[in-house]
Amino acid sequence: MVGGSSTSLPPSTNPSVRNVRNKKVAKNAPGQRQDVAWEHGTPVNDGSRKIKCKYCHNEYRGGAFRFKHHLTGTNSNVEPCVPVPDEVCKQIWIIVHRLQSKLIKKRTLSEDVVEFGCTIMTDGWTDQKRRTIINFLVNSPMGTFFLKSIDASSISKTADKVFKMMDDIVEEVGEENVVQIVTDNAANYKLAGQMLMDKRNKLYWTPCATHCIDLILEDFESKIPMHKEIIASSKKITTYIYAMTGLITLLHHYTEGGELIRPGITRFATSYLCLGCLNDKRGGLYRMFTSKQWKDSQFSKTKDGKFVENIVTNKDFWKNLIICLKGAFPLLKVLRMVDSDEKVAMGYIYEAMDQAKEEIQTSYNNNRKSYQPLWKIIDNRWDKQLHRPLHAAGYYLNPILH
């Protein structure tokens, strides 16, 4: 996917170097450091092509190309980096997709878009300079391709400017080729989307299903006291352990190399996935915090250490953690479906959300007092944000469901 290139060695006063200065070396070689990947890892000087990640401290073979996939989690054959900051992950992701899009012949992509139509998707984030960056992607049956990035720091706050930005992108792709444009669900985007449909009545504005489900999970955490308390406690456990190298070693010993953090599709999905990881490693964590190594360590004598130990050995914490997972995991299944490239989610999302609600009800043994608060949050977000004509049409026309 990444094209290789080379460069000459710089002049040197060392005769042995002058003799080989006309030879070519790979741009991504450790000594060259021209690839952005080297800002996030260091070469392992053992004659191999290993890179040591500065975030997880693990070593990976395959050079800068594979290392970028480690940082972004975009290759199933490369272990994703868990603690990598979101802004770094997105920065590298953009670079990978820019390179990929350059290798796609415009003629082929254009023919595909003209024949089948496409979806324009947006992805907003904040870079290290605190600028609001919006990535525009084009999705068609051929796949998803990076189109361009825009510094929207002075644009994203008002609906009029957002409308102008989206309208320009539609014009660039060709109105006749666009079926829908998908953005997040913020009020300014919703109004801008309506303005776009008023002007261009052959396309749809559709709020992002992933963002909507993430907001549902956010509401679970902020509006249901048990969820808020359990997630806060789980973060206390993970941040405490991962801040201490000695505790990470102890964790790996008692969990057989296991981790407590899993990267999720969204911020709040990650919170609930971490609850799942804690539950999976419950036995190992209990053994760790009741072990002689822990009791004899300096960590067990500290205020934070005692606090985390009390959480891990508290049966009510684990009982309530299970209750939270029962409410969130059905939605995580829907989230994986809408974010997957395996099948088009448009024709399935109505059914998937109904099934998720039924699973939540069943997991709480049909106890209305337990599941109704979650249903209310789901319905509030769904009815206001994701109840769209295209989803209804997709459900109606899906032959598998009828």
* pLDDT at 249 exceeding the cut of 60: yes
123: domain CATH number? 3.30.420.60
Q: Would you give the distance in Å from CA 132 to the centre of its chain?
A: 17
Residue 262: what pLDDT? 62
Are residues 224 and 242 located together in one domain of the fold?
yes
Nearest alpha carbon to residue 293 among 239, 257, 249, 235: 249
Is 80 inside a domain boundary? yes
* pLDDT at 155 exceeding the cut of 70: yes
Are residues 371 and 225 located together in one domain of the fold?
yes
* pLDDT at 48 exceeding the cut of 70: no
Are residues 82 and 95 located together in one domain of the fold?
yes
Tens digits of residue pLDDT in 277-306: 999 999 999 999 999 999 999 999 999 999
DSSP codes joined into one string, 327-342: HHHHHHHHHHHHH-SS
Is 151 inside a domain boundary? yes
Residue 258: what pLDDT? 87
More confident residue, 318 or 185: 318
Tens digits of residue pLDDT in 298-309: 999 999 999 999
Q: Which of 67-71, 74-78, 280-284 is least confident? A: 74-78
Whole-number Å distance between alpha carbons of 93 and 72: 6
- Which of 99, 124, 158 is at the close of a domain? 99
More confident residue, 361 or 257: 361
Question: What pTM value is reported for the model?
Answer: 0.71
> What 3-state class would DSSP assign to 21?
coil
Is 346 inside a domain boundary? yes
Residue 4: what pLDDT? 36
- Total domain count for the chain? 3
Q: Could you tell me if 37 and 68 are in contact, meaning their C-beta atoms sit under 8 angstroms apart? A: yes
Whole-number Å distance between alpha carbons of 106 and 68: 25
Structure tokens at 167: 């309208």
Tens digits of residue pLDDT in 203-244: 999 888 888 898 999 999 999 999 999 999 999 999 999 988
Tens digits of residue pLDDT in 341-384: 666 677 788 888 999 999 999 999 999 999 999 999 999 988 77
Residue 18: what pLDDT? 37
Tens digits of residue pLDDT in 113-149: 888 899 999 988 776 677 888 889 888 877 778 888 8
Q: Would you give the distance in Å from CA 122 to the centre of its chain?
A: 14
Residue 1: what pLDDT? 38
Are residues 85 and 231 located together in one domain of the fold?
no
- Which of 69, 99, 129 is at the close of a domain? 99
Structural domain boundaries enclosing 371: 213-395
Are residues 310 and 250 located together in one domain of the fold?
yes
Residue 107: what pLDDT? 45
Are residues 250 and 189 located together in one domain of the fold?
no
Most confident of 72-76, 243-247, 321-325: 321-325
Are residues 247 and 336 located together in one domain of the fold?
yes
Are residues 344 and 258 located together in one domain of the fold?
yes
Is 84 inside a domain boundary? yes
Are residues 156 and 250 located together in one domain of the fold?
no
Are residues 115 and 93 located together in one domain of the fold?
no
Are residues 83 and 163 located together in one domain of the fold?
no
Is 16 inside a domain boundary? no
- Which of 207, 239, 270 is at the close of a domain? 207
Are residues 223 and 306 located together in one domain of the fold?
yes
Structure tokens at 184: 């997040």
> What 3-state class would DSSP assign to 5?
coil
Is 15 inside a domain boundary? no
Residue 149: what pLDDT? 85
More confident residue, 342 or 85: 85
Is 92 inside a domain boundary? yes
Residue 265: what pLDDT? 57
